[in-house]
Homo-oligomer: A and B are copies of this chain.
Amino acid sequence: MSKESALIRAAEKETGRIEAFSDGVFAVAITLLAFNLQVPKLGDAATPGQLALALARQWPEYLGFVTSFFTVLIMWVNHHGVFRLVQKTNARLLFVNGYLLMMTAAVPFSTSLVTQYLQSSAAKAACAAYGGVFVLISLGYSALWHVVTRDRTLMKAGVSETTIERISRSWRWGPPVYVAATVGAFVSPYVTIAICTILWVHWSIVAKEF
């Protein structure tokens, strides 16, 4: 094995483990979203129709689950998209990545807020908090991208300026859109849900490559 390929292997291993750890956190957080789905507590005398109705009535749980699941999925895709360009890590990158993972781990909590309060009079505060967590996450992605592009030795050789420009341009939209989703909660909690839904539907229809 040549010295060079040994170096490549070592470098790959380095980002490999940070990716594996991040994948683990994303996978646990996204699966735990399903814990917001709660079995209705009806007595043993409930009819099938009553159970069906109770299941239908907890539609905010399904809405929150689907919205958060696909939003976290897009985050994971973006995370993956950045780390495909990265060949080594430094302390700053680990720290920013840690911040991102921490906020991602908090998404089941903010989702639970929405599903429990969407049909209550406090829905606006719950949806604002939900949007606020995504603002903090999108700022984290901007910081991650800043760290990676500032120190080009972190990047794999051969990543073109065009690729970097393209990502920079598309990520510019994250923070302002999620700020709109947060502020929009005070108009109606459904504005927050609508913006988040449009974002992931848009992504899954429009995106040609990733």
Residues of B within 8 A of A112 (CB): 39
Of B91, B98, B209, the contact of A91 (CB 8 Å cutoff) = B209
A125 vs B49: C-alpha distance when bound (angstroms): 7
A37 in contact (CB, < 8 A): yes
A52 vs B32: C-alpha distance when bound (angstroms): 24
Contact with B along A1-37 (1 / 0, CB 8 A): 1001100100001100111110111111111111101
A187 in contact (CB, < 8 A): no
Interface residues of A (CB under 8 A from B): 1, 4-5, 8, 13-14, 17-21, 23-35, 37, 39, 42-52, 55, 65-66, 69-70, 73, 76-77, 80, 84, 89-92, 94-95, 98, 101-102, 105-106, 108-109, 112-113, 116-117, 119-126, 128-129, 203-204, 207-210
What's the dominant secondary structure at chain A's contact region? Answer: helix
Given A5-B1, A84-B14, A106-B34, are A116 and B20 neighbors across the interface (CB < 8 Å)?
Answer: no
The residue in chain B whose Cβ has the minimal distance to the Cβ of A126 is B51
Interface centre among A13, A45, A125, A129 (most CB of B within 10 A): A125
Of B20, B47, B94, B109, the contact of A121 (CB 8 Å cutoff) = B47
